[in-house]
């Protein structure tokens, strides 16, 4: 078991994060595979306007960690033969949704995109969330400025048609991170199940794992208020948008339930060993030092760049809100939490490295 000194050091680490510039709240949880390590610490205020303290029980936005949950549902539907991973998405979606969504050099590749390419971000589809439209703006920038709005799957497809694809579907060992992929996966899930993705999350993941504090934001009227999000010193309150991102970024959870999902995901409770091997057997280039598999990120720093101590080999997912949920495969450590800050995508990885070094 970790000594009280280690727990105090973890609390000191998160306290120092909040004392630093532009980190208003934080929660971190870390567990070992054998459960001998089980620590959680929080600091700051979850809601600045009411001075509500951030605690290990505070619910927070998972943001793009949601993609792990969506990929899990896709894999379970594939196991049930309801989805063929190698089939073109046009087998599951209406022509008016698919046609013209991927036109590159005057060639329409829309009909060649497969389900697996959506899951692995190898479709080449443009990103409706971060891509800049002809007027030079993006949805991400609008939301960071507090310009809230909801988006439907039709809105997403319309935006994507106005952006340039990155490459031919499945070209090379590379990935391009695009929220459009997972918005379409959500539409496929609903098409083959006949129910909302909210219901699929509940029946395939939440209920089997006993997750009672994990939910799709905006799916019910009596939901608690998640921890506030920030862009530097400005609070970002965009409930309409967050309610639109169910398959690609709309989940809310706690650090304990995020760790519960991680352990179930990598421990065989949700997926077969063959499915997990498929999801982690091929890693495509994303951006250094990140790679992407099937619904999973891999933080992979070469040993030559860390000669004195091997960098952690982290597999899981992060989110644009400063959220993170990863498994350190070498140490068999699970680590999850959030900084609720959108300004620097590298913050969670620096924090996780420091937590792992502390545990070491």
Domain that holds residue 139: 1-360
Q: 């960098």: which residue's tokens?
A: 311
Predicted local distance difference test score (pLDDT) of residue 22: 85
Region 283-297 average pLDDT? 93
Confidence of residue 288 (pLDDT cuts 50, 70, 90): confident
- Across the chain, what does the average pLDDT equal? 93
Q: Is 166 helix (H, G, I), strand (E, B) or coil?
A: coil
Predicted local distance difference test score (pLDDT) of residue 192: 98
Q: Is the dihedral of CA 264, 269, 270, 272 positive or negative?
A: positive
Distance, in Å, from the CA atom of 39 to the CA atom of 16, rounded to the nearest integer, reads 17
Is 13 or 222 the better-scoring residue by pLDDT? 13
Q: Judge if pTM exceeds 0.85.
A: yes
Distance, in Å, from the CA atom of 229 to the CA atom of 284, rounded to the nearest integer, reads 30
Predicted local distance difference test score (pLDDT) of residue 151: 96
Predicted local distance difference test score (pLDDT) of residue 310: 63
Confidence of residue 1 (pLDDT cuts 50, 70, 90): low
Each residue of 338-354: pLDDT tens digit? 999 999 889 999 999 99
Predicted local distance difference test score (pLDDT) of residue 302: 59
Q: Which range among 82-91, 132-141, 200-209, 320-329 shows the weakest confidence by mean pLDDT?
A: 132-141
- The count of domains in the chain is 1
Confidence of residue 4 (pLDDT cuts 50, 70, 90): confident
With 90 as the cut, is the pLDDT of residue 308 above it? no
Each residue of 178-216: pLDDT tens digit? 999 999 999 999 999 999 999 999 999 999 999 999 999
Predicted local distance difference test score (pLDDT) of residue 356: 94
Q: Which DSSP string do the residues of 200-267 spell out, in sequence order?
A: HHIIIIIHHHT-SS-EETTSSTTPPPPPPEEETTEEE--HHHHTT-HHHH-EEE-HHHHHHHHHHHHH
Confidence of residue 304 (pLDDT cuts 50, 70, 90): very low
Identify the CATH number of the domain in which residue 204 sits.
Answer: 3.40.710.10
Q: Which range among 50-54, 113-117, 276-280, 316-320 shows the weakest confidence by mean pLDDT?
A: 50-54
Each residue of 98-110: pLDDT tens digit? 999 999 999 999 9
């Amino acid at each position: 078991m970790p000594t009280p000194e280690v727990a105090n050091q973890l609390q000191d680490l998160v306290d120092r994060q909040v004392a630093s510039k532009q980190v208003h709240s934080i929660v971190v949880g870390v567990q070992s595979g054998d459960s001998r390590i089980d620590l959680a610490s929080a600091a700051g205020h979850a809601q600045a306007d009411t001075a509500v303290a951030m605690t290990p029980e505070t619910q927070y936005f998972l943001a793009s960690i949601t993609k792990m949950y969506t990929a899990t549902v896709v894999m379970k539907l594939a196991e049930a033969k309801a989805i063929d991973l190698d089939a073109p998405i046009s087998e599951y979606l209406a022509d008016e949704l698919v046609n013209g969504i991927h036109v590159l050099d005057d060639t329409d590749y829309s009909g060649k995109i497969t389900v697996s390419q959506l899951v692995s971000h190898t479709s080449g589809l443009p990103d409706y969330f971060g891509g800049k439209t002809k007027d030079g703006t993006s949805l991400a920038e609008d939301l960071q400025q507090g310009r809230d709005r909801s988006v439907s799957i039709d809105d997403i497809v319309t935006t994507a048609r106005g952006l340039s694809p990155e490459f031919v579907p499945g070209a090379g060992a590379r990935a391009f991170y695009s929220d459009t992929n997972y918005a379409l996966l959500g539409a496929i899930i609903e098409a083959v199940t006949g129910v909302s993705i909210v219901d699929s999350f509940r029946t395939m993941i939440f209920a089997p794992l006993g997750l009672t504090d994990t939910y799709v934001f905006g799916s019910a009227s009596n939901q608690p208020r998640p921890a506030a999000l920030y862009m530097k010193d400005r609070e970002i309150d965009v409930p309409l948008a967050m309610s639109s991102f169910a398959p690609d970024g709309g989940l809310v959870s706690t650090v304990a339930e995020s760790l519960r999902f991680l352990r179930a995901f990598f421990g065989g409770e949700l997926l077969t060993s063959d499915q997990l091997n498929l999801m982690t057997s091929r890693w495509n280039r994303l951006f250094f030092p990140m790679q992407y598999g099937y619904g999973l990120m891999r933080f992979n720093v070469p040993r030559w760049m860390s000669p004195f101590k091997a960098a952690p080999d982290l597999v899981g997912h992060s989110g644009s809100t400063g959220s993170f949920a990863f498994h350190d495969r070498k140490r068999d450590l699970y680590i999850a939490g959030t900084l609720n800050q959108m300004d620097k995508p590298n913050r969670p990885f620096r924090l996780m490295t420091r937590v792992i070094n502390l545990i070491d």
